[in-house]
Structure 1
């Protein structure tokens, strides 16, 4: 595996090959992995129950439900990038991992550590059902929230309104919230695209993210403390598209 998505909090990882997204960044983009990634972080409106993931008898790792990784610390890491545990995790996290997996302490690379020790899972396998979907309605403005740094980015600022379909895209057009999460947690690839932005060298790798309607922020007691970073996010996605020709691969 050349790339993996690692959840430190749940001790899980996703191998793109398990869902046949391919081997390389261009294949992940062409096969819509960033679009599907958004459902790992999306919480249905009004605390409704998330849809159960589809099941199959393929013998592959199990799928997780929609929203299963919302609020967790997640990294996209690849073999070439070589991020080590010390680069990405706190000393407290490393101490806890070493205590939990004492036989694996000789391997400092986060991706290899995850492959050897964490549970393999798959993306929820959910696709938005359209405007009639009561769990993810298209008449709401959906946002990516960074719970660690308390900023958010609006889907309607990244896309034309007609291209939004709830938290995802209509007809695969443009770059949306799933692409922003993908770029921000290391899939652009690694930190290359986001390195010159205010996000810093590793973007939001390891930050706690979720996707919810904008009113969750607007109606909160601390609404004034949240920062709208939609324009910076749009610039980041533009650079990602220019560098990796995302739209070319997606059509």
Structure 2
């Protein structure tokens, strides 16, 4: 049957239902829907209707409600936890966790909230690993062009690009003791034993955290992660193998917008 995965918050003891095999939901928009849980909105959220918000409250989650927590995409063959990520006093096994966790609903957040203002696509977002103090910029990940199916930096979509921050997230937080991920990527262990699994994560606007990133010495790993997710997409047939990975022609300025600032070559 294959291995099924759930998206889980270890601190809140919440999780989605099992969403299917990783390779089945990785490309269908599910990852973008779920990254909202760790993304802090740019402004106050506006609800679309009282009925929807009342329904949402019963499920205990809203966009940004998981930001800063320990996040994992847990496979149902997992027998162990990532080493050193859980408190010594936590004796709950992965199997026990999946049986006792509070299940959240997974309906698209745009049914309940007006997301366009809260999550503008013309601003630069950063996926941050708070545990490791590393981050990935949304404008540094080339996305598939609508016109010619080439990779481009000119069709920036915030954190909703394809490939984009959501794909990098799920390729780094998945966890199991079995390496079956239903993907053609030849480094299946690299995904199944995700280096960020159970780390504290969030997604923020670059201009809101830029000074913190500089002051505290965070490391920008955008180019490394962009190239890696490109390889995942190519090997899975989501990007044509003849489509070369383009060098990044621009980076974000201090205002957090996509600016024409060319990367200096050494």
- When normalised by structure 2's length, the TM-score is 0.67
* Alpha-carbon contact 1:66-1:124 (below 8 Å) kept: no
- Alpha-carbon spacing, 1:15–1:163, altered in 2? closer, same or farther (3 Å): farther
* Alpha-carbon contact 1:63-1:124 (below 8 Å) kept: no
Q: Quote the offset at 1:118 in angstroms.
A: 1.3
Q: Structure 2: how far apart are the matches of 1:247 and 1:62?
A: 36
Counterpart position of 1:205: 197
Counterpart position of 1:36: 33
* Alpha-carbon contact 2:41-2:118 (below 8 Å) kept: yes
- Alpha-carbon spacing, 1:221–1:185, altered in 2? closer, same or farther (3 Å): closer
Q: Structure 2: how far apart are the matches of 1:34 and 1:86?
A: 21
Counterpart position of 2:209: 217
- Alpha-carbon spacing, 1:91–1:15, altered in 2? closer, same or farther (3 Å): same
Structure ranking higher in helix proportion: 1
Counterpart position of 1:20: none
Q: Deviations over 1:105-152 (max 9, x none)?
A: 5xx3x1x22221110013462359xxx932222331111011111111
Note if 1:156 corresponds to 2:139. Answer: yes
- Alpha-carbon spacing, 1:114–1:196, altered in 2? closer, same or farther (3 Å): closer
2:124 is aligned, of 127, 138, 141, to 141
- Alpha-carbon spacing, 1:118–1:52, altered in 2? closer, same or farther (3 Å): farther
Deviates more, 1:36-45 or 1:211-220: 211-220
Note if 1:70 corresponds to 2:67. Answer: yes
- Alpha-carbon spacing, 1:79–1:70, altered in 2? closer, same or farther (3 Å): same
Q: Structure 2: how far apart are the matches of 1:53 and 1:67?
A: 17
Q: Structure 1: how far apart are the matches of 2:31 and 2:196?
A: 15
* Alpha-carbon contact 2:122-2:156 (below 8 Å) kept: no
Unaligned runs of 5+ in 2: 143-151, 241-266
Counterpart position of 1:180: 168
Aligned residues: 216
Note if 1:167 corresponds to 2:162. Answer: no
Q: Structure 2: how far apart are the matches of 1:193 and 1:158?
A: 20
Counterpart position of 1:27: 24
Note if 1:84 corresponds to 2:80. Answer: yes
Note if 1:115 corresponds to 2:115. Answer: no
Unaligned runs of 5+ in 1: 18-22, 99-104
- Alpha-carbon spacing, 1:35–1:77, altered in 2? closer, same or farther (3 Å): same
Structure label with greater radius of gyration: 2
Q: Structure 1: how far apart are the matches of 2:132 and 2:229?
A: 19
- Output the aligned Cα RMSD: 3.6
Q: Quote the offset at 1:176 in angstroms.
A: 0.2
- When normalised by structure 1's length, the TM-score is 0.71
Q: Structure 2: how far apart are the matches of 1:228 and 1:165?
A: 19
Q: Structure 1: how far apart are the matches of 2:224 and 2:86?
A: 27
Q: Quote the offset at 1:222 in angstroms.
A: 4.8
Q: Quote the offset at 1:9 in angstroms.
A: 0.4
Q: Quote the offset at 1:166 in angstroms.
A: 2.5
1:49 is aligned, of 40, 44, 56, to 44
Q: Quote the offset at 1:35 in angstroms.
A: 1.7
